[in-house]
Chains A and B, each alone.
Chain A
């Protein structure tokens, strides 16, 4: 059963701490996306990778957020230092990059920054 796996599912941390979220995309998918979902802003695109290369991270606050794909089976989103306004659910999604363009989402990482 192919699925996108995200860890951690839940994270509570204090302001100023570093947070790292990890994503294992579906094997064979060459596009990976990081989205952030909040009640106020809905689903926002943070970063987009194709074949592990970053194509678009314009939605990401550059001073504190960073996204990488060290290999085809791992994508990371790091926040340093974290702030209360970063509290949200962070979704990773992967896709084949062509055809219907369907995205397969993970179950999300729920982050609370106190």
Chain B
């Protein structure tokens, strides 16, 4: 079993829908939780970053972390066609090695106009 499991998708929604992307993990040492967005034939880019449990909001995006359940989510409100991409969750135990993250396999999202 992988340390990080991500809902595989693919996910297809109409424009304006609320999207929920989810990951579970098994390593209780993870403290830093990230979401990367990867457009087709591009490298991943950091979208959201949270430390420990709680919520973080940035525009239409909200990241949630529930460490007690070892579960993280990314919500996208008012989804747009430009949000169509693969979303990767990533986690690491310390920020000194935060780049040495464990990634989920990604969920591919398509937002249809």
Which residues of A sit under 8 angstroms from B32, Cβ to Cβ?
101
Q: Of B60-68, B76-84, B103-111, which stretch is located at the interface? A: B103-111
Number of residues on chain A facing chain B (CB within 8 A) = 24
Total cross-chain contacts (CB, 8 A):
62
Instruction: Find out whether the CB atom of A43 lies under 8 angstroms from the CB atom of B44.
Output: yes
Asked if B88 CB lies within 8 Å of chain A CBs, one says yes
- Within the complex, the shortest CB–CB distance from B35 to chain A, in Å, comes to 12
Per the bound structure, the CA–CA distance linking A93 and B90 in Å amounts to 14
Which residues of B sit under 8 angstroms from A43, Cβ to Cβ?
44, 88, 103, 105-106
B-side interface mostly: loop
Contact (A108, B43) CB under 8 Å given A43-B103, A102-B49: yes
B100 is contacted by which of A56, A98, A99 (Cβ under 8 Å)? A56
Per the bound structure, the CA–CA distance linking A91 and B103 in Å amounts to 13
Which residues of A sit under 8 angstroms from B22, Cβ to Cβ?
none
Which residues of B sit under 8 angstroms from A107, Cβ to Cβ?
41-43
B99 is contacted by which of A4, A41, A95 (Cβ under 8 Å)? A95
Which residues of A sit under 8 angstroms from B101, Cβ to Cβ?
101, 103
Contact (A101, B43) CB under 8 Å given A42-B103, A42-B104, A42-B106: no
Interface residues of A (CB under 8 A from B): 4, 31, 33, 41-43, 45, 48, 56, 91, 93, 95, 97-108
Interface residues of B (CB under 8 A from A): 32, 34, 41-46, 49, 88, 92, 95-101, 103-106
